[in-house]
Structure 1
Amino acid sequence: MSNPYADWLRQHGTKHFNLGTKAGWIDFVNTGIRPDFRTLTMDEMRGLDPETLEDYNQARNVWNSNPATVKTPQLKNAHDLIDQVMASSHRDGSSVRGAVALDALPGLGKTTIASSYARHFDQQQRRRYGHTTADGNPRLPVAFIPLSAGMTLKQLNQKILRFYDHPAATRTSKAELGTLAMDCIHSTETRLIVLDDLHFINFNHRTGVEVSNHLKWLANESAATFIHVGVGLSRKKFFDEGLGGDPSLSQTSRRTTSCPVAPFTLSTESGNRAWQRLLSSFESHLKLANNTEGTLTGLGDYLFERTQGHIASVTNLMDRACAAAITTGTETITYDIVKKVVIDNAAETASSRR
């Protein structure tokens, strides 16, 4: 007899997207919403055979851990600002386009903000202009380039070429890499480039200055708008172009619009409402037999104390609390369940100080 939950897991289980590759990015863009399945009652679960129950619970773990991206005020404000900057992308010819820097503390959803915007932009461009360019090349409206520690100019260009699956990524001289990277951007008509984890670049070091200058060259020579994502970019002198540069003379500072991302707050009425809406959104998504309206919102103050309003900590807490609710058979999230859940070190440390 077919096990519907095993079938669901095979087709719609946990997905792994390597956004730093063309194939991974296209999979991310094209993957649709998971199909829903009915939440069983306690009596119905007791009627399942052990293997089917195990698969049902695993399917619920996948479902509970993957809610739709919540349109938080932070995400909406950031997307609105990126839309403003993208207005420059309509300029003809060699006119320089603007850029955005998502500069914030860890765990505030910067990469989600950037990737969700880029995903929609990619879908929009393909719908409007098709999947191939006028020259017959595959269209790649977006390039998502994750950076790594100690990134040099050569390594940056190699990362770009690897995204485009260019065969010369590891075999070409340093002098040619930049030209090949630009050729890829031009030939596929890339219009948006996301550079994730830009804080790995030390702009106070010679290699960091080289990277900064190269990024300006890419912006000058291509028709792409850049979204820079990182932690403490201002402190790392990204906007000043490093090495004690004069901010008033910095092209990067003039071209780039800073977009800070703030944690949730309970200190204002609007902040409190936004926090409650976030919890309500999570609450409506959960597949727990005893889940009822107000389960999470009723714990709002305690959940904020545990997470300090950082979206990454909130999602970690939800994943683990749901798994605990299933494992223990309580089938709802309670104060006692949440209290036993251990999450990231930053959130736990800050919570213990309160």
Structure 2
Amino acid sequence: MPPTAEHTDHSHLQLLTARDREWIDEVFATNVPDPGTCTPEQLEVMELRVRERYRMQRTRYLRMMPLLETPVVTDVMSRLRLMANSAIDSDMHQQDILILNGEPGVGKTMILRTHAGDEIRRLALHRSLALEDGHAPPLATFRPVLYVHLRGPMTRFDLMRLLCDALSWPSDTNPQRGLERAIQQCGVQLIIIDEIQHVNFDGKTGRDVHNIIRWMSNFGLRVILAGTDVDWVLNGAGTPAVEVAARNSRGRWIRVEVPKLEVSTRQQKENWLDLVYAFECRLRLANAPTSDGWLTDQFGLYMYARTQGYFNSLVLMINLAAAYAIDTGSETITRTMLDSIDLEYEVERQRVQRMALFDAGAYPVICEP
């Protein structure tokens, strides 16, 4: 039977809470209109309120960039989708756990948020089909995906309370019981925990968190973790109980590497320049050159030398450069401006030496033909 209009629209998204629909719009930047580019003359005659509104609009348009395709993103997202598409919603089947490992600044969080958005939409469609077929369980509120970002040291109880809070569900002195009920009543199928390294995996807390994550997977939930230095997470030393918990996790956790971007081959160099060009296409500066690819051609490789391939550093550099151009009224980006921008401490180390090599045409890799 061919699909009907009812089956091909996006009515299933109405099953989601307004909060989740708004979050999806933020992740995919579907609620960010293009403010367009005005001329220097138009900018000059704008009255204060109009000019400030325009500044806010073009800043938001640049900052709210959806996830951009790079070889790293394509690889990691395909792994996440493969695991998602092979799963079924059943507490009779244990789920393996993916853990994304990468240095700070490689873009893990954006990848996770995008995957969460994809899964919220996909699982809403699945519930719509189940309702249509008459076998969807009643729920208090439909919240199929939880994404939480750890911001400091967490115990097992802290983690469970954080998850309950994300569902707007009360938790008492036994948060595991509350979390279990919340999961059942909200139809949760996927839990994503970012910055898992904030948990102290060396002691009793680590053992307890290993065990609660295993409980989630045994409960039929899919769990995705992300962090830095996951060797420490997976090989935590300590008491025999801690080592047993870590060993059990190693038997279930699937490690996925998220490296920084490289330019050691011609194709990798082209991929990097394509990434810079994607940002260039969202710049709305009144005095910027009109030639297509101006930012990429002039500063693409410079930006690699400055950021060393860390995605978050590239985002920071371009956003600060755009803000600088707007604030000073220059309305374009120059080398002097880029040189004045400070990035994260880690990528600024040995900056003087690296940029001297770059300017001399001797920077490794970049200057190879």
TM-score range, shorter chain: 0.7 to 0.9
Tell me which amino acid in the other structure corresponds to 2:271. A
SS state at 2:294 partner: coil
Pick one of 238, 248, 251 that aligns with 1:251.
Answer: 248
1:281 aligns with 2:278: yes
Query: Any idea what the Cα deviations from partners look like across 1:254-299, whole Å, max 9, x if unmatched?
Result: 2221111111111112211110110110011110123332222121
d(CA) in 2 for partners of 1:30 and 1:127? 17
1:137 is matched with which residue? 140
CA distance in 2, matches of 1:141, 1:207: 27
Please say which of residues 183-192 and 116-125 is displaced more in the overlay: 183-192
**Tell me, what secondary structure is at the counterpart of 1:106?**
coil
Q: How many residues align?
A: 325
User: Which deviates further from its counterpart, 268-277 or 26-35?
Assistant: 26-35
Secondary structure at the residue paired with 1:226? strand
Selected match of 2:123 from 119, 122, 125: 125
TM-score (norm 1): 0.84
Cross-structure match for 1:19: none
In structure 1, which of residues 250, 261, 264 is the aligned counterpart of residue 261 of structure 2?
A: 264
Answer yes or no: is the 8 Å Cα contact 1:308–1:351 preserved in 2: no
* Runs of 4+, deviation exceeding 6 Å: 244-249
Q: Residue 309 in 1 paired to residue 309 in 2?
A: yes
Q: What amino acid is the match of 1:341? A: I
- Match for residue 150 of structure 1? 153
CA gap of 1:155–1:50, structure 2 versus 1, over 3 A, is closer
Give 1:177's aligned residue: 175
Aligned 8 A contact 1:212 1:241 in 2? no
- Residue 60 of structure 2 aligns to a residue in which SS? helix
Query: In structure 1, what is the equivalent of residue 224 of structure 2?
Result: 227
Tell me what 2:10 maps to: none
* Deviation per residue, 1:54-94 (Å, 9 max, x gap): 33223222222222321222221111111222244227552
CA distance in 2, matches of 1:46, 1:296: 24
SS at match of 1:296: helix
Does 76-85 or 22-31 show the bigger shift? 22-31
Distance in 1 (alpha carbons) for counterparts of 2:162 and 2:275: 36
User: 1: distance between equivalents of 2:148 and 2:245?
Assistant: 29
Q: Show the counterpart of 1:336.
A: 336
The Cα of 1:25 is off from its aligned counterpart by 4.8
Residue 104 (structure 1) aligns with: 102
Quickly say closer, same or farther: Cα 1:91–1:123, change in 2 above 3 A: closer
Is it true that 1:205 corresponds to 2:207 in the alignment?
no
Instruction: Tell me the distance in 2 between the aligned counterparts of 1:48 and 1:261.
Output: 45
Choose which of 15, 22, 28 in structure 1 pairs with 2:23: 28
Query: Aligned equivalents of 1:316 and 1:296: distance in 2?
Result: 15
Q: What is the identity, as a one-letter code, of the residue corresponding to 2:124?
A: R
Q: Normalising by the residue count of structure 2, what TM-score does the alignment of the two structures yield?
A: 0.81
Structure 1 unaligned spans of 5+: 1-21
Corresponding residue number in structure 2 for 1:58:
56
Where do 5+ consecutive residues of structure 2 fail to align?
Answer: 1-16, 355-369
